Structure 1
Amino acid sequence: MHSRLKRWLYLLHRWLGIVMCAFFVMWFASGVVMMYVGYPRLTAAERLQHLPSLDPAAPLLGPAQALAAAGIPSMPQDLRLSAASAGRPVYLATLADGSRIGAPVAIDAATGTMLRAIDAAHALASAAAYAGGGVQAHYAGLVHEDAHTHSRALDPHRPLHRVQLDDEAGTLLYISSRTGEVVRDAPRTERTWNYAGAWIHWLYPFRGNLFDRHWAAIVDGLSIAGIAVALTGTVVGLLRWRFARPYRSGSRSPYRAGMMRWHHLAGLAFALTTLTWIFSGLMSMNPWGVFGSGRGGPAVAAVYGHTGAMPAGAASVQMLLARGGDIRELRWVHRLGRELVLAYGPAGRPALLDARTARAVGLDPGELRHAAAGLVAAPLARIQVLDRYDLHYYDRAPHTMTGGGNKPLPVWRIEFDDPAATWVHLDPYTGSVLNSTDRSRRASRWLFAMLHSWDWLPLLEHRPLWDAVLILFSLGGLALSLTGLVIGWRRLRLSRRSFRA
């Protein structure tokens, strides 16, 4: 290699590495924290477990009556009944507002009055119902966004009431100012480790302030700089390594001892995993929209059918709750053109009830298969029944970035013969479209989730093997970046002294 090119390569790695090694240290250390403690969230399972049971004897309005009393003429995007607001039953409706996320409203199930002003007393009552008896709750103020609530899914509920519980976990609750329901819980452990984990790893210090609009560009820019450091370091490390014959010292590295030697050896040993993690971190941001197919989602109306006004002859809430069991929430849905109700308990799959008769029903597999063929305007290639998780449909721990969702089994994978090679995952029990993916999204799965979190079933299903592998490579990357940080600091001190002289 030309000597001048070599020198520029060394200089680029040296001075860019002085800056980036500090970020590398932070990313490797916080990544290990995130393996066990994630960003605060309220999972669906946690929400159901903390909801009070619905009383079959309570004098509650039916959904059609409640919507009419609240001045809502048509069926909302989503309609649920639960004792989620101040401990009393409310209809939680998501109204279409032309945006990606609908506008949530709460309707008192006893009077049909729409809740409009959720004050501190209301928030405290919601927190007390969530916590159960014997736990004191203290109002902690109203906040638009803080270190634990950067998720865009919370935007329709902002500003958020904060309530501190005196429970053993030291839980901080965030309550919607639109509906009065608990939308996030953050125990003390999650809050504390969040600063050493997800908050710093995702560069959230740049969120919720004047840098917010530039956050994605900052992450992308630092990731690209990190890739440049790792690539140049790999080339420099290989150029300095004697493959044919060793140096006079007998070593194949020119550095006999000290930080330079350890940095050289760690760089050669962990360059590939370091580069892989930085690159996959960049891919998580979908830079320049590389994974955007430009196609919309599946036409769910093919399976769901008509979603107009609630039928006048719908079964009463009392009839639905009389089906028995500890019912925490009712959700009205349309499947195959029929009005159905999903009755959720504190855990497990919901009961599927007819919205008119309150009787338990099941979906006809043949009819469901026929309807599912219309989810995408393309020929149906095949329907595969998944009885276990695979590389593209799998579940992760609730605290992880991709965990805590609804991933039931068995599930249907409906594959279409369209240019994007679209797949749709559908729950044959409830008829719910769970997600859709195409060729570009599957590429994102490989380049992000697989390379960054190592979401590979042979590892995930044989823990602590997954833990050992990721911690080993994280410690290697940490050694590489820490030695680089020390070398960089010494170089800066030397340059400063030379400048003074």
Structure 2
Amino acid sequence: MKRQIYLLHRWLGIVLCLFMAMWFFSGVVMMYVGYPKLTQAERLAALPELDGTACCASLQRWLDSAGRSEAPTALRLTTVAGQPRALLGYANGASHGKGGGRAELVALDGAEGGRVDGATPAAALAAARAFMPGVATSYLDLVAEDPYTLSKALDGLRPLHRVQMDDEAETRLYVSARTGEVVRDASAVERDWNWVGSWIHWLYPFRGGATDALWSDIVIYTALAATVLALLGMLVGVWRWRFSGTFRSGSHSPYREPWMRWHHVLGLVFGTLALSFIFSGLLSMNPFKVFDSGAPKAAQAGRLSAAQFALPAGEALRRLAASGFAARELEWRVVDGAGYYLALDGQGGTRLLAAGARADVDFNTAPPFAAFDMARLRQLGGTLLAPHRIVAADVLRQYDSYYYSREAHTMTGGPRHLPVLRLKFDDPHDSWLYLDPATGAVVKQVDGRQRAKRWLFGLLHSWDWAPLIERRPWWDLWMVAINAGGLLVSVSGIVLAWRRLRPRAAPART
């Protein structure tokens, strides 16, 4: 039995040691250079203040121009190339991108209300110049996707115009051909480092082409095999180590050849951490849907209607400006059945403004306000997973283990607002909801299985444990040590694999 395990470990290592070396090296790169994305802060900072005197067409005009029989589930007013643009989202629309079934976006002229059917190369250049004023531009091409735009979040925005900016960072902008917005930016540093970072870490060479449909399975089964390899390596290492006494060489390891001995010793020292890293990476793919509990999503606001927004958008912008709030985007929100405008400024600050009739609010005179009352938010939250009841409600003014912030470049990074209201329910899935009083929205929902994933993936793979990530550079040193140890084990395995596979000279004939 042991011999079969030795052989299985050997041949799995020959096949997989190069993959493992790539994962450990690229993991260090991803600590500091993430996959390109346009953050909310970058996007808002590049937008001008919305002008209530030059905007807007009525909501009913926008709904009519969209030409859809159903009402939208989302509506946002932004600026594209210096002009107001309304973006309506329809949940049951089929995207024209790769991810069929995703919400479809319909772009409209914010001032006149007419439909904007696609953005030309000239429009893409205009959007890029408005995004980075005073920087020379050159149009590259139109692509469905490229190595830096594989995110599913972009599926409803494809195809994408690529525009090269002549700035110091050599920024490349991606402009949606559907909405005309700048939806991604990628500097030369991000583009270059991603070839040895996210690109190989996520096995993106298998994205696109004949293997695209198999990409998820390739990642899952490769990581699963690597997990078995690491586990078998630990078993073999322990079996071969002489804990009491030594071999004739004076070593606790039976191997005399330096590379074999180093592989043995390094595997014992770093094997457990390497195993946890590979196994947690496997869990990031939610293999075989192990973290899907079937828990229903919170019943947030559904479709928007003109009746819920009696206050015109232009008037809302004028009131916001009069209160000293410079709105750069406006969102239409339905909270507890009533319409509200959510305004965002260039620093990510928010204001709310009642937009329709309520028994307790006169929207004609109500001023903008910063957040919903926590008691009202709790009452609203109690209806979101009906008929299940709230068993605990807490106002969080500090992050907890499941709602926390990471650096913007990380996979789950970005700022998270505080305070939030955390509600725990008595449903069979042990669901928790986090509600943001600044927006009235559910910003996170986790059930028992997702909380398990937070520890099995989030902790073991990224070590995003508050006492550690709040005390950098200790987190950096710990993460680099883990990856360096795993890399050394893998590199020694590569050397041994090469020695096993390389052609050997035939013995001389006598």
TM-score range (shorter-chain normalised) is: over 0.9
User: 1:150, 1:208 within 8 Å by CA — same for their partners in 2?
Assistant: no
| Residue number in structure 2 paired with 1:347 | 347
Alignment of 1:276 with 2:273, yes or no, is no
Change (3 A) 1:238 1:69: closer
Q: Deviations over 1:440-480 (max 9, x none)?
A: 11111111111111111111110111000010111111111
Mark the runs of 5 or more structure 1 residues left unpaired by the alignment.
none
Alignment of 1:122 with 2:130, yes or no, is no
Alignment of 1:360 with 2:361, yes or no, is no
Mean Cα deviation higher: 354-363 or 328-337: 354-363
Alignment of 1:89 with 2:97, yes or no, is no
Q: Distance in 1 between matches of 2:218 and 2:507?
A: 31
Q: Deviations over 1:224-271 (max 9, x none)?
A: 111121111111111111111111121111124521111111000000
Alignment of 1:22 with 2:22, yes or no, is no
Q: Distance in 2 between matches of 1:486 and 1:112?
A: 65
Shift of 1:106: 1.0
Q: Deviations over 1:211-236 (max 9, x none)?
A: 00000111111111111211111111
Change (3 A) 1:359 1:248: same
Q: Distance in 1 between matches of 2:496 and 2:142?
A: 46
What is the aligned counterpart of 2:44 among 21, 27, 48?
A: 48
| Residue number in structure 1 paired with 2:435 | 426
Alignment of 1:314 with 2:324, yes or no, is no
- SS, match of residue 18 in structure 1: helix
Q: Distance in 2 between matches of 1:60 and 1:428?
A: 27
Structure 2: which amino acid aligns with 1:182? V
Percent identity (aligned): 49
What is the aligned counterpart of 2:403 among 384, 393, 401?
A: 393
Structure 1: which amino acid aligns with 2:485? G
Q: Distance in 1 between matches of 2:294 and 2:506?
A: 55
Q: Distance in 2 between matches of 1:346 and 1:397?
A: 19
Alignment of 1:209 with 2:205, yes or no, is no
Q: Distance in 2 between matches of 1:227 and 1:254?
A: 25
User: What is the root-mean-square deviation in Å for CA atoms of aligned residues?
Assistant: 2.0
Change (3 A) 1:429 1:157: closer
Structure 2: which amino acid aligns with 1:314? L
Q: Distance in 2 between matches of 1:45 and 1:382?
A: 33
- SS, match of residue 32 in structure 1: helix
What is the aligned counterpart of 1:375 among 384, 392, 403?
A: 384
| Residue number in structure 2 paired with 1:242 | 242
| Residue number in structure 1 paired with 2:185 | 185
Change (3 A) 1:261 1:309: same
Q: Distance in 2 between matches of 1:121 and 1:113?
A: 19
Structure 2: which amino acid aligns with 1:120? P
Q: Distance in 1 between matches of 2:308 and 2:435?
A: 26
Shift of 1:336: 2.1
User: 2:320, 2:327 within 8 Å by CA — same for their partners in 1?
Assistant: no
Q: Distance in 2 between matches of 1:73 and 1:228?
A: 53
Change (3 A) 1:189 1:21: same
- 1:73-222 aligned within 5 A: 75-83=71-79, 85-98=80-93, 101-132=102-133, 134-222=134-222
Q: Deviations over 1:172-219 (max 9, x none)?
A: 111111111111111111111111100110000101211000001111
Q: Deviations over 1:337-396 (max 9, x none)?
A: 221111111013211112243721353433322221111121210111111112111111
Structure 1: which amino acid aligns with 2:483? S
Shift of 1:55: 2.3
Shift of 1:96: 2.7
- SS, match of residue 320 in structure 2: coil
Mean Cα deviation higher: 256-265 or 338-347: 256-265
Mark the runs of 5 or more structure 2 residues left unpaired by the alignment.
95-100, 356-362
Change (3 A) 1:379 1:323: closer
Mean Cα deviation higher: 229-238 or 68-77: 68-77
Q: Distance in 1 between matches of 2:65 and 2:309?
A: 14
Q: Distance in 1 between matches of 2:303 and 2:113?
A: 25
User: 1:73, 1:309 within 8 Å by CA — same for their partners in 2?
Assistant: no
User: 1:142, 1:161 within 8 Å by CA — same for their partners in 2?
Assistant: yes
Q: Distance in 2 between matches of 1:319 and 1:439?
A: 41
- SS, match of residue 295 in structure 1: coil
Shift of 1:87: 2.6
Q: Distance in 1 between matches of 2:482 and 2:320?
A: 53
Alignment of 1:33 with 2:29, yes or no, is yes
- SS, match of residue 129 in structure 1: helix
Change (3 A) 1:401 1:230: same
Change (3 A) 1:215 1:127: same
User: 1:52, 1:129 within 8 Å by CA — same for their partners in 2?
Assistant: no
